[in-house]
Amino acid sequence: MFNVQSIRKDFPMLQGKTMQNKPLIYLDNSATTLKPKQVINAVVDYYENYSANAHRGDYDLSYYVDQRYEGARKNIANFLNADTHEIVYTSGASAALNLVAFGYGSYKLSKGDIILTSEAEHASCVLPWMKVAQDTGAILDYIPLDNGRITIENVKKKLNAQVKVIVLAHITNVLGYEVPIKKICELAHAQGAVVVVDGAQSVAHMPIDVKALDCDFFAFSGHKMCAPTGIGVLYGKHELLEEMQPALLGGDSNARFDMCGNIQLKNAPYKFESGTQPIEAVFGLDAAVQYLTSIGMENIHTYEKELHTYAIEKLQKLNNIILYNADNDSGIITFNVKDVFAQDAASFFNANGIAVRSGQHCAKLLNEYLQTSATIRASIYFYTTKEEIDKFVEVCAQANMENCLNIYF
């Protein structure tokens, strides 16, 4: 049974925490999520009770770490409906997306090949492929947005035999629209293109089945799904991972090498995991996956949609709020206060104990489309309550130039 008050008891940050002497209302979950005690305990347990390396030692402690480490990989694979050997540990979504760009794109693309993305993408979806295009002579092109959405019709307009890679977020990080990835994959594969999915804003909020989506790569960060920072995952179809080149070379990724420069790398995923990984963060991610699974991803998705609808209905009644994505598919609410700069408005929310994000949200191509230099983003999660939304809306109603500037005096 989904019970938000019971769930909140799992999060130390939600136990009497204040900001500006007001009860904390945390609405910056698209940037990073709070951590439940189950995740914190998993990290501390490693440091206190079996703090050995993985894949290195011939003693009991190290063997135990090995089993936990690979057990975590299996649990993460199950969470995505993937195979264990298709799960690569990375430092986050950005590292995973860069790994695909430079480990696959740099070797597979040539002059005249086309990479498709969109104006709505996070920098980690765009910048690596800009560099790949510069280095290979490939062309980076953009799928037009339709009222902020990526539509199948606009994808078809851009898709042709020269398109080799499509790079898109499953849920865009500013507007929060769900992209029809499954249909895009079907169209792309018919043309021989691969699809790279930034899942940072979807994996924590809805059930993910990479086999059903049939995407070629899927990247995400742990810290956006209740896990520690410094850990992420790249899912890749195994045959594509085997074709890729690693970004780093070093210990644990090779089977052998000699003085003549002959290097035999291990099979995927291990050839991509040089050096000691953040073992405690892997265990924290494993605990987060198990925690989210115990709540139920469908339950989380349903609750967030209900809460988003509840918030939007109230916000649409305010004549001082500009909403950019009232009809979206997630818990992301992007808005501005009329006649107030986004950062000034965000400071006003801070003065009332509410954590929101302001700025360009790492999606700097979107500003021209939205015709504004910056926006405010409030992002909810399954531990957000209706009472917190009510307080957020109340503060929105009070936001104006005079009140926002008064906090500085």
CA 380 to chain centre: 14
Contact, 98 vs 124, CB < 8 A?
A: yes
Q: How far apart are CA 91 and CA 88, in angstroms?
A: 10
d(CA 223, CA 31): 9
Answer left, alpha or beta for residue 148, where phi above 0 means left and psi between -120 and 50 means alpha.
Answer: left
**CA-CA distance, 190 to 377, in Å (whole number)?**
37
- Report the sign of the C-alpha dihedral through residues 20, 25, 31, 35, in that order: positive
Residue with tokens 């918030």: 311
Instruction: State the catalytic residue, choosing from 125, 226, 260, 362.
Output: 362
Residue 185 annotated to the active site: no
Distance of CA 306 to the CA centre of its chain: 21
Other beta carbons less than 10 A from residue 109's beta carbon: 22
Distance CA 50, CA 248 (A): 27
In this structure, the chain runs to a length of: 409
In the DSSP assignment, the letter for residue 28 is B
| Both structure tokens of 409 | 């005096």
CA distances 396 to 305, 359, 360, Å, are 20, 17, 20
Q: Report the catalytic residues.
A: 362
